[in-house]
Amino acid sequence: MKIVVAIKQVPERDAQVHIDASGRWIEESDLQYAMNESDAYALEEALQLKEKHSGEVVVVSVGPERVGSTIREALAKGADRGIHIECDDLNKRDVLGVARLLAAALKPESPDLILTGLQSDDLGYGQTGVIVGELLGLPHASLILHVEKTEAGLTVKRELEEGWFQTIELPTPAVLTIQSGGNKLRYATLMGIKRAKTKEVRLVTAVELNVESTPVVSLENITLPQKQKSTQMLPGTAKEAAAALVEKLKFEVRVI
């Protein structure tokens, strides 16, 4: 079973983000980077499938030279080889442009299964995986928490709303976008880190893939969130105020 996992390198969650001079992206020069969280869960799902059914796990990532460190991290955790689509203008490409690069690089691989994270921590579009599936003409499903290989193909568990789940069957090859939290993430062992240095990472440039790069969606500007404080007094009895508070927490603040 050949499984390809698309991973993205994103700024670390606690990074101090500053908007660059153009106002259209963040200043990247002083940031620390890490593997996108839901992509890490996609990698874990792939590694567990490999351990159960044998096969090969290939990781692919789009980005500049620094992306190589995230690919090596995936190899240290157990992936067999990597594909680095070198692209120095990633922030100028929309989600369709990135999906076209991934699809062009993955088509010759003829994988049985393609996994991506549900969405990225930086942009959060949640579209890359399903667009790759469309470009390759493969069945796809999103919000996946667990994958089981069957004789007919795959059985997957999807997360729906309000604590509901759905189990569906898909043929292979297929594309799945993985939700965070479905598995416990593993750490790279010292032996895994040593082995990663000898594993193959194939470099391919965006120019070599020769795909359309003109964006259909452009990011005009970004702004930092504005901090606001407000106080509301809830009238009525304690029971009425408590009921009103629950309503606000549920429908306005959306924390319960």
3-class SS string, the chain: CEEEEECCEEECCCCCCCECCCCCCECCCCCCEEECHHHHHHHHHHHHHHHHHCCEEEEEEEECCCHHHHHHHHHHHCCCEEEEEECCCHHHCCHHHHHHHHHHHHHHHCCCEEEEECCCCCCCCCCHHHHHHHHHCCCEEEEEEEEEECCCCEEEEEECCCCCEEEEEECCCEEEEECCCCCCCCCCCHHHHHHHCCCCEEEEEHHHHCCCCCCCCCCCCCCCCCCCCCCCCCCCCHHHHHHHHHHHHHHCCCCC
What average pLDDT values come out for the chain (256 residues) when binned by 10 residues?
Answer: 96 86 84 94 96 96 95 97 93 91 96 95 91 96 94 92 90 95 92 95 92 83 81 90 90 81
pTM of the model: 0.84
pLDDT, residue 86, reads 95
CATH number for the 2-209 domain, one of 2.60.40.1730, 3.40.640.10, 3.40.50.300, 3.40.50.620?
Answer: 3.40.50.620
Residue range(s) occupied by CATH 3.40.50.620 in the chain:
2-209
pLDDT, residue 225, reads 79
pLDDT, residue 171, reads 95
pLDDT, residue 24, reads 82
